A and B are shown apart, each in its own frame.
Chain A
Amino acid sequence: MTTASTTRTLTPSQRSAAAVGRVAQRLAIEEIRALSAALAEVAADEVEKNTGFAERVKRRYQEMKAKPSRASQSPKSSLPKRGGPQPRVAAGRTPGEHIDIVSPTDPRTLVPLYGQDLEAHLEEYSVRALWDMARVLTPHVGEKAPAQKSGRAALIAYILRYVR
């Protein structure tokens, strides 16, 4: 399950999408846009009635505000953390591998790279890219990929169902 602790490296909009996706999965809802509006309205009502809930929202807001998102961080954030030399690789091609950023990604190839963090990684892609990935999977799994308009959560759920 994606939680706040596992989404802290994401941008606010990515965190929002991840949270809505969790609710969509729990409630088996497909229409993400309406769900987002419903969540916001119910939350607003709850803030007015429930001070504990209001405090949680405020703390989470201040935490997000204090910690800039990955996208707006200085370039320093994209560099590896200090803490010892990185393992080096021999310069050269890995057999069978070819760098190609045009073809859609086969999400099965991401499992060795991300393992348990695959869900969080998938949250970083656009809905269009997720749909492309789902369509790569379709011929191999026998279940039709969700439509692009079914949204991020449904596409991620479809991908995770068949790559794990």
Chain B
Amino acid sequence: MSEPSPALLSPDFEALLSDIAHNPRSEPLLNLLPATFAEFVGYLFTCAGYEAVSVENQFYPNGVGVDFNLFADLLHTDLLARVEVRRYKPDNPLSADAVFAFQGKLGGKHAGGVLGFLVTTGTFTGPAYHAEREHPGLATLIDGAHLLRYITYVHGSRIPQADGRYRLPRPLPPTWFRMADLIQRPLHTKTKVLAVGNNRGGVGKTVTALELGIGLAKRGKRVVVVDLDGQGSLTLALPPPTPAPAKKSGKKSGDEVLPESSQALSTGDISQYFASSSLPDNERIALASLVGATVFPHLWLIASGKLIQDASSVRVRSSLHAMDTGGSAHPEDEVAFVSAIADLSRHGAPDGTPYDWILLDTPPAQSRYTRAALAAAHEVLLCTGVEAFAAQGANGLLDTADAMRALMGSGTELIGALITRFPASPKSTLQDEKLKLINQLAKQGVPVIGEIPPDDKVDLTNRNAVQGGVFDKVKGLFGFATSSAAIAYGNLIGHLLQEAPHDDS
């Protein structure tokens, strides 16, 4: 093995973590001394929420010792796992013998053995994986590719604090990265899953999801829009075809009690799914059961909350905000949502036909739901205004996309950026900022695929819905023949359909 680079003999682990997270590759790890590499992996597990304690020179009966133990608590009373690391080149895979030896150090599962992670920068042989399967749930093998994914995910899942430190997540086992490999997104050529996002609010995400949904449905596509924003604007803008008969809420256990003068216009919403997401697969609420019709043919909605009408208004009551864990990592939650979206795609629309599109409208700020959406989506459309905070929000979204791609092992692709509410005759400073934004997006490899001019009708659409009583009149922008924004969204839809591999229009 070549001599390590002198520059990396005493590396700054945080800088190394950041470097690899942004540009995943094995070389910087292979350049470390074996002991330094073990220290780095210990640092990584610390960043992942564990208390990592080096075992140092303690000897275990079956060869080279375990490198460190992982605890859940500062007092080191709750041993969660043991870790052994090997800094090996890719052409030097770990064999089944190494796995058997490691399993021996963990103790038999039936004899109260602890979990273990055998981590290498290289690979494992086929028999090594067979040895892993012989004792399921005991030792998890983490090869170089999964190690890089784990680094990126952990790096992108820490919450920065005001003092410059990071709030550590609850322990994130690398096991999830192996499990995520078994989860498939919906078949891309059948149903396309598109998330609309930016961590900044007020940049037109919801209007974009709304107009894309309406526009695609008007072109004959079968679309379900999922409102992941607890504010419920999309839910308000896409009410059911006709107000449902008054549902006497509060009669069933678990239902919200509504005043006598109010009636619930919807029956299911996405918060019910997330409330059940920690349950076993067979007890989790299926997204298909939450799909409701809208006033538009071929366009369905999974509401963000309960749509409630009383004498004076229509509003959405959602528990999404209360359940939001922010930007903290919940890999089990994120992987489960990918499965749930795949199930929704397989189930198809309520009329029995498959969906062409599943559109995910994400909330502003770091959110549990944005993470889940970016894990599940084939593609992301970045909405942004020409203003500093929207640009910052775009950075945050791209960071989250990095972490979710690391979790799932395959990319959420960026379909491009949509510049919203940009006037036809901007002031020179605004034009300058737009040019800067386009250039900086280009440097990130992000093309600007559309520009939406400001249009009062965008607001009118929502206002009509909010005021209520217009359930058969919601037109979307496409109801306004002269709307410049509608023309721009129409062009964007043409672009999306042109790019859809399954679409022949």
Q: Please give the residue numbers on chain A whose beta carbons come within 8 Å of chain B beta carbons, in ascending order.
A: 71-72, 74-76, 78-80, 82, 85-86, 88-102, 105, 109-110, 113, 121, 124-126, 128-129
Contacts and interface: CB of A to CB of B under 8 A. Distances in A.
B416 interface: yes
Given A88-B415, A90-B405, A91-B411, A102 B388 contact: yes
A128 B467 CA distance: 45
A71 B402 CA distance: 35
Given A91-B380, A96-B22, 7 more contacts: A71-B425, A78-B419, A80-B447, A86-B449, A101-B387, A101-B437, A129-B432
B440 A97 contact: yes
Nearest to B426: A71
Nearest to A113: B442
A89 B501 CA distance: 16
26 contacts: A72-B424, A75-B452, A80-B495, A82-B498, A88-B413, A88-B414, A90-B405, A91-B374, A91-B401, A91-B412, A92-B411, A93-B399, A94-B443, A94-B444, A98-B395, A99-B437, A99-B440, A99-B441, A100-B440, A101-B386, A101-B391, A101-B440, A113-B439, A124-B435, A129-B432, A129-B435
Interface string B9-29: 000000000010011000000
Contacts of B374: 91
Given A85-B499, A91-B413, A97 B424 contact: no
Contacts of A74: 484, 487-488
Interface in B410-468: 411-416, 419, 424-426, 428-429, 431-433, 435-437, 439-453
A85 B503 CA distance: 12
Contact of B451 (A75, A88, A105, A129): A75
Given A91-B374, A124-B431, A80 B444 contact: no
Contacts of A78: 419, 448, 450-451, 488
Closest 10 A/B residue pairs (Cβ) = A75-B488, A91-B401, A126-B428, A92-B402, A78-B451, A89-B445, A91-B414, A129-B432, A95-B22, A90-B411
Contacts of A97: 440, 443-444
A88 B405 CA distance: 15
B146 to A, nearest CB: 18
A105 B436 CA distance: 7
Contacts of B495: 79-80
Contacts of A101: 386-388, 391, 433, 436-437, 440
Contacts of A98: 395, 440
Nearest to A127: B428
Contacts of A72: 424-425
Given A80-B495, A98-B395, A124-B431, A93 B402 contact: yes
B141 interface: no
Contacts of B491: 75-76, 79
B429 A128 contact: yes
A85 B413 CA distance: 14
A80 B379 CA distance: 18
Contacts of A100: 388, 391, 440
Nearest to A74: B487
Contacts of A110: 439
A76 B449 CA distance: 10
Contact of B443 (A71, A79, A113): A113
A71 B424 contact: yes
Given A85-B499, A91-B380, A97-B444, A128 B432 contact: yes
Nearest to A93: B398
A126 B405 contact: no
B394 interface: yes
Nearest to B429: A126
B492 interface: yes
A99 B448 contact: no
Given A76-B488, A99-B440, A101-B386, A86 B414 contact: no
B424 A126 contact: no
